[in-house]
Amino acid sequence: MKPAPRSTLGPIRAVVCNYNGREHLPPCLAALRAQTRPLDGLIVVDNASEDDSREWLAREQPDVRVEAMARNEGPCPARNRGLELVEDEWVLLVDNDAVLAPDALEKLERAALANPDAVLLQPRSVFDAQPEVVHYDGGDLHFCGLFSLRNFHAPLARAAGSGTVEVGGAIAVALLAKRSVLRELGGFDPAYFVLFEDLDLSLRLRMAEHRILSVEDALCRHRGGTAGISYRGSMDYPRRRAFLHSRNRWIHLLKNHSGRTLCFSAPALVGYELVWALFTLLSGTFAGYLQGKWAFLRGISRTLGDRARVQRMRRVRDRDLLVGGPLTIAPQLDRGGARSFALRALDCALRAWWTLVRPLC
């Protein structure tokens, strides 16, 4: 006799990663409390905030468990600490600037029950200031060490996909995660600090034959982002982001891509690198770019050690995981003229090269 279908994943607690998020915490926590699928607890992991986040939590949210980190080492250690604190199988990982629709968790749980081999599920996030526009909706894993994002900045009414969609990777704004699997694979890698850490986790999960889903009708409003790193609306590219992009992309490539993939994709990687270096030069962030490369080289022994562990877990070849395009281009850069033409040409060249070398990877 077949067992009856499960109607619940069991207890689910939310872990909110917070750094200087006093303005974001009230709507974030209010949305979590308003879920139609009630949560079984709330934990805020605070990354040594310098605003009055913890004082506000103690005064206004006394039933919320607050875990204070000794220093701010980015969201990765904070999320990993949350995975340690929660003993249940499923956990909702939420950034402090994420505001979930009331039925978001209910829809995520329903999708997880219908797809028992999925280990990571994300809602579709929209801009808080423009809720009719998609921000993050999952994506594929580009062989140049990037996310090829779905529906990036697309009008919600015309966004591709409906229901539950399998994706190559998820973006860590809000994630329903199978705790045991994430911990088995090492969780979020603190080497990144921030930026590329969700791409890294997604590829490691996919290499180990796990599925990642985007639940298109589960919505999340994404608020302000991380000061000094987020690149939203402004034409000024942050120097800190240039540093992190320059360093973290190569940590990701060296750690996760096979030797054959790195070898055969080398001309395309160099081409992309030259274009990116030119962009940082034009945007006034070339010093950050160079500092990122130096930081990558200084930490290369650690990355090689991590690489050995990751490659031992590999069950799927790169050619079955990675794609050649499209490149995700921020609207601030895609304003027509020579710059847009150059980006389109780069995208076409990368797609063509991956088509050529993919069978060898």
Report residue 188 CA to chain centroid gap: 10
Q: How far is CA 132 from CA 73, 126, 154, 222, in A?
A: 34, 7, 9, 12
pLDDT computed for residue 231 by the predictor: 61
**Which H/E stretch holds residue 214?**
strand 211-222
Task: Name residue 11's amino acid.
Answer: P
* Under-70 pLDDT residues of the chain: 1-5, 225-235, 332-335
State the pLDDT at residue 1. 46
Is the four-CA dihedral 332, 333, 338, 340 of positive or negative sign? negative
The pLDDT value recorded for residue 35 is 98
Given this model, what pLDDT does residue 123 score?
98
The domain 12-222 belongs to what CATH superfamily?
Spore Coat Polysaccharide Biosynthesis Protein SpsA; Chain A (3.90.550.10)
3-state helix, strand, coil in the chain (%, to 5): 45, 20, 35
- Residue ranges, comma separated, of all CATH 3.90.550.10 domains in the chain are 12-222
